[in-house]
């Protein structure tokens, strides 16, 4: 039975040029597995806490040498010699690391350290068995649940991810009607190219935001949506719930004010925001809205869910922070009908899979997500396939750190022949 022989970490850079961790594990059977840790820029208040060095002269105080130290010393001392043969062993290691940390948000060892260890261990199990990672992640579930997710390509960036005047953070296109992932990726890339051409023809800059989408010089949401629909149609696709649909992540924490919300210079109450979303979903093929309201606006979330939840997927990101207990409470409060899943928001795989189980037990849809700061690690692609949630977002269909995930999904589809698409229960018409 293989055991953990060594755990190592080093400080590397992410796609924004900010420090993050690479974690490496070696097993007694010779297996060596590596994981790269992502980092967010528009984070929920209750996310598991990254450990960043308090050294202003180094990387503006954003170094991760202390988190590297957590892996090399405390976590290695705890886990060295433990058997690692299946997913349960990874989840048990996660539990022990949580215990060692002792805080709720993993602030002492650093969630950037703990999630990296968890990802590397899962990958080592896959390598030991010579199995694809997604198959290890579905070990406890039935094989018929696994599926290739619908990619949500973030083609226009605003908010905390771009230096423009656009307040909504993410405008995504989702080829829900494509027959396969390969065709969905093709649709995403063709629409992305068509969008660049539209901008070029209008004499507008085609610079990019953090997730590879265009940082358009526009501030009106309707103008951006009109442009995207034109790009979809010009590329030869149908803009709609049976073709290429649109998903929004306004990330409303970013434009929350003491009275309500301010978008493109206009003030809105939460009720007015909900009416606006209702109008947008009528006029444009918007099938999913994530963080349409701020995480402190529970009453607004209830109204949004009551008024739009039947026809639109309402996704909680900052409000749920990939936490099972928050999802269970949301069902009681009638907030949202879907949950975004970010392993580094939870701090490890154990808590991420707990959130998945909570969603499945209450019938909430799930979308697996990258972060705006990424490495070329493709863990989230395998995660989405393994849990079979049918939805993923990894940024634009461009730039290496985003393509690492999409190309991994292409590879999984090619070798596995798993079905592509949304789960039946999540389809909107």
Q: Which residues are the active-site residues?
A: 211, 342
Instruction: Between 84 and 340, name the residue whose CB sits nearer to Zn ion.
Output: 340
Q: Of the listed pieces 85-93, 198-206, 311-319, 386-394, which binds Zn ion according to CB under 5 A?
A: 311-319
Radius of gyration of the chain (CA): 21
401 sits near Zn ion (criterion: CB under 5 A): no
Residue 320 Cβ vs ligand PGA, minimum distance, rounded to whole Å? 11
- If contact means CB under 5 to 8 A according to the sort of partner, which of ligand PGA, Zn ion, none does residue 288 touch? none
- If contact means CB under 5 to 8 A according to the sort of partner, which of Zn ion, ligand PGA, none does residue 371 touch? ligand PGA
Q: Of the listed pieces 1-9, 173-181, 313-321, 328-336, which binds Zn ion according to CB under 5 A?
A: 313-321
Cα–Cα dist 404/342, whole Å? 17
Instruction: Between 53 and 249, name the residue whose CB sits nearer to Zn ion.
Output: 249
**Subset of residues 265 to 294 that bind Zn ion, contact rule: CB under 5 A:** 291
- If contact means CB under 5 to 8 A according to the sort of partner, which of Zn ion, ligand PGA, none does residue 41 touch? ligand PGA
Task: List, in sequence order, every residue forming a beta bridge with 3; answer none if it has no partner.
Answer: 83
Instruction: Between 1 and 13, name the residue whose CB sits nearer to ligand PGA.
Output: 13
Supply angle C-alpha 12, 18, 19, rounded to 5: 35
- For 140, other C-beta atoms within 10 Å of its C-beta total 11
**Residue 63 CA to chain centroid, in angstroms?**
23
Residue 339 Cβ vs ligand PGA, minimum distance, rounded to whole Å? 12
Cα–Cα dist 88/108, whole Å? 24
Instruction: Between 164 and 369, name the residue whose CB sits nearer to ligand PGA.
Output: 369
Instruction: Between 291 and 426, name the residue whose CB sits nearer to Zn ion.
Output: 291
317 sits near Zn ion (criterion: CB under 5 A): yes
- If contact means CB under 5 to 8 A according to the sort of partner, which of Zn ion, ligand PGA, none does residue 297 touch? none
- If contact means CB under 5 to 8 A according to the sort of partner, which of Zn ion, ligand PGA, none does residue 152 touch? none
Which of 14, 249, 303, 401 contacts Zn ion by CB under 5 A? 249
Instruction: Between 126 and 321, name the residue whose CB sits nearer to Zn ion.
Output: 321
In the complex, the residues that contact ligand PGA under the rule CB under 6 A are 40-43, 249, 251, 317, 369, 371-372
- Angle between helix axes 324-333 and 298-308 (nearest 10 degrees) is 70
Q: Which residues contact 142 (CB under 8 A, 6 or more apart)?
A: none
Residue 253 Cβ vs ligand PGA, minimum distance, rounded to whole Å? 9
Q: Which two tokens stand for residue 240?
A: 């709609």
Residue 296 Cβ vs Zn ion, minimum distance, rounded to whole Å? 15
Instruction: Between 250 and 421, name the residue whose CB sits nearer to ligand PGA.
Output: 250
Residue 263 Cβ vs ligand PGA, minimum distance, rounded to whole Å? 16
- If contact means CB under 5 to 8 A according to the sort of partner, which of Zn ion, ligand PGA, none does residue 323 touch? none
- Which of 138, 146, 46, 62 shows the shortest CA–CA distance to 346? 46
- For 259, other C-beta atoms within 10 Å of its C-beta total 9
Residue 308 Cβ vs ligand PGA, minimum distance, rounded to whole Å? 19
Residue 369 Cβ vs Zn ion, minimum distance, rounded to whole Å? 7
- If contact means CB under 5 to 8 A according to the sort of partner, which of ligand PGA, Zn ion, none does residue 22 touch? none
Report the interface residues with Zn ion, using CB under 5 A: 249, 291, 317
């Amino acid at each position: 039975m293989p055991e953990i022989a060594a755990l190592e970490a080093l400080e590397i850079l992410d796609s924004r040029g900010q420090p993050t961790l690479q974690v490496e594990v070696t097993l007694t059977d010779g297996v060596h597995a590596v994981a790269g840790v992502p980092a967010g820029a528009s984070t929920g208040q209750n996310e598991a806490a990254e450990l960043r060095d308090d050294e202003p002269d180094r990387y503006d105080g954003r170094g991760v040498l202390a988190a590297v130290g957590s892996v090399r010393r405390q976590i290695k001392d705890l886990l060295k010699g433990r058997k690692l043969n299946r997913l349960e062993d990874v989840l048990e290691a996660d539990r022990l690391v949580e215990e060692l940390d002792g805080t709720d948000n993993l602030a002492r060892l650093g969630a950037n350290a703990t999630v990296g260890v968890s990802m590397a261990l899962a990958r080592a199990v896959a390598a030991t068995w010579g199995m694809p990672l997604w198959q290890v992640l579905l070990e406890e579930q039935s094989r018929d649940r696994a599926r290739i997710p619908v990619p949500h390509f973030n083609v226009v960036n605003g908010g905390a991810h771009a230096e423009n005047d656009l307040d909504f953070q993410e405008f995504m296109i989702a080829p829900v009607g494509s027959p396969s992932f390969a065709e969905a990726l093709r649709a995403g890339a063709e629409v992305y190219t068509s969008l660049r051409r539209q901008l070029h023809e209008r004499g507008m800059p085609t610079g990019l935001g953090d997730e590879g989408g265009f940082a358009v010089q526009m501030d009106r949401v309707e103008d951006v949506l009109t442009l995207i629909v034109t790009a979809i149609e010009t590329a030869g696709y149908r803009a709609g719930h049976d073709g290429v649909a649109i998903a929004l992540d306004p990330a409303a924490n970013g434009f929350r004010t003491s009275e309500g919300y301010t978008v493109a210079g206009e003030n809105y109450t939460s009720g007015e925001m909900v009416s606006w979303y209702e109008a947008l979903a009528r006029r444009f093929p918007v099938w999913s809205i994530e963080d349409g309201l701020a995480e402190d606006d529970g009453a607004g979330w209830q109204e949004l869910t009551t008024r739009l939840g039947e026809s639109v997927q309402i996704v909680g990101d900052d409000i749920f922070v990939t936490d099972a207990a928050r999802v269970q409470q949301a069902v009681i409060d009638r907030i949202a009908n879907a949950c975004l899943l970010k392993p580094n928001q939870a701090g490890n795989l154990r808590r991420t899979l707990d959130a998945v189980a909570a969603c499945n037990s209450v019938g909430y849809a799930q979308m697996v997500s990258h972060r705006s700061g990424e490495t070329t690690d493709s863990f989230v692609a395998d995660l989405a396939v393994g849990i079979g949630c049918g939805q993923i977002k990894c940024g634009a269909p461009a730039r290496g750190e985003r393509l690492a995930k999409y190309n991994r999904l292409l590879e999984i589809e090619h070798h596995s022949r798993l079905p592509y698409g949304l789960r039946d229960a999540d389809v909107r018409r």
